[in-house]
Amino acid sequence: MRGCQVFRNGGSALDACEEAIKCLENSGNTNAGYGSNLTWDGTVECDASIMDGSTLLFGSCTNVSLVKNPISLARIICERQSRMLALERIPPMSMAGDGATKYAQEVGCIMLEKDQLISGRAQRLHNHYKEKVARFEDINKIQINYLDTVGAICVDANGNTAAGCSSGGLVLKVSGRIGQAATYGAGCWAQNSPDISVSTCTTGNGEYLMKTFLAKEVSQDLMSNSSHDCPATILHKTFKDKFLESPFVPQGRELYGGALSLVYYPKTYNGEVLWSHTTRSLCVGYMSTFQRNPKFVNSTLPSYSKPGESIVVNGQNFKLPI
């Protein structure tokens, strides 16, 4: 709803994408911004990225702990990609840790004191799993449940797209770990052409999403639909061939992944919202400026399916062939 309000006020796809993710970062109920999962050391380390389909510029930040809205810092880094620094130095595309924090202060991001991003829910979750690790001394025996990455995909009246994502990472992650939400081609992708505009954001096992460049692969397969196949069919094929059966990810393990995509055809003013996942569930909300209220979908795998053995595409379940 916040994103649509941006459009009604004349904002761009990039404006709407940032605003939608800021709302999620501030909620305290998601694993992004305030409420992010805590690292093994009990701190918040946020990742975020955003991409502008009209310019193909990308910006990201990682391991930031004092920036209220990491997506806003990522957006500033993205936009400043088009301006060379003094002495013709190339501006950064990704920034991390203390350097990113100092930069955020310089460019006017809202900063917080240490621990202000830690919610009561995140602290309780951290304590709960830390106690389990101490008791069983083997993290592989522990089933960790958590809310994962948040993301947004938007298209404006001119057919320009934007995509972004933000995450606090895994519960009890190693301090300094970089996730897909801050990685080029893995967390988000947006690209425009005169005939079709596509944007995608992802969630799931960050390391596997990074190895397969899932956001980029999904978006470009949807863009290059020369045979005019059903977009849902293309999404299913990409998920199967380039993620679940990719030679870059371990086989025989549960591979958790999800992708939310927007396909828009500027010449006919039509488009589709698509999603696919192997996670137990994927929460999707969507809205256009013609709607008064957003619509929500909680897409789930059947109870008899195991992640990695079944794919949900737009609410329809597909079992992988044996």
Beta carbons of 259 and 201 less than 8 angstroms apart: yes
Helix (H) or strand (E) holding 3: helix 2-8
Tokens standing for residue 176: 């300094």
- Name the residue type at position 273: V
How many whole angstroms separate alpha carbon 30 and alpha carbon 148? Answer: 7
149 is catalytic: yes
The H-or-E segment that residue 122 falls in is helix 120-136
- Token pair of 83 as six digits: 């301006």
Q: For tokens 């606090």, what's the residue?
A: 168
Q: Is residue 282 within 8 Å of residue 239, measured between CB atoms?
A: no
* Ramachandran area for residue 70 (φ above 0: left; ψ -120 to 50: alpha; else beta): alpha
How many whole angstroms separate alpha carbon 314 and alpha carbon 259?
Answer: 11
* Cα–Cα separations (whole angstroms), residue 275 to 10, 285, 316: 27, 11, 10
> What CA–CA distance (Å, rounded) separates 274 from 250?
26
Q: Could you give the residue ranges of the DSSP H alpha helices within 157-230? A: 206-212, 214-223
Rounded distance between C-alpha atoms, residue 278 and residue 309, angstroms: 8
List residues bridging with 296 in a β-sheet: 285
Nearest to 38 by CA among 150, 122, 142: 122
Q: How far is CA 151 from CA 42, 131, 242, in A?
A: 24, 31, 21
List the Cα angle 116/17/104 in 5-degree steps: 45
Please tell me which residue in 30, 149, 278, 279 is annotated as part of the active site. 149
Catalytically active residues are 149
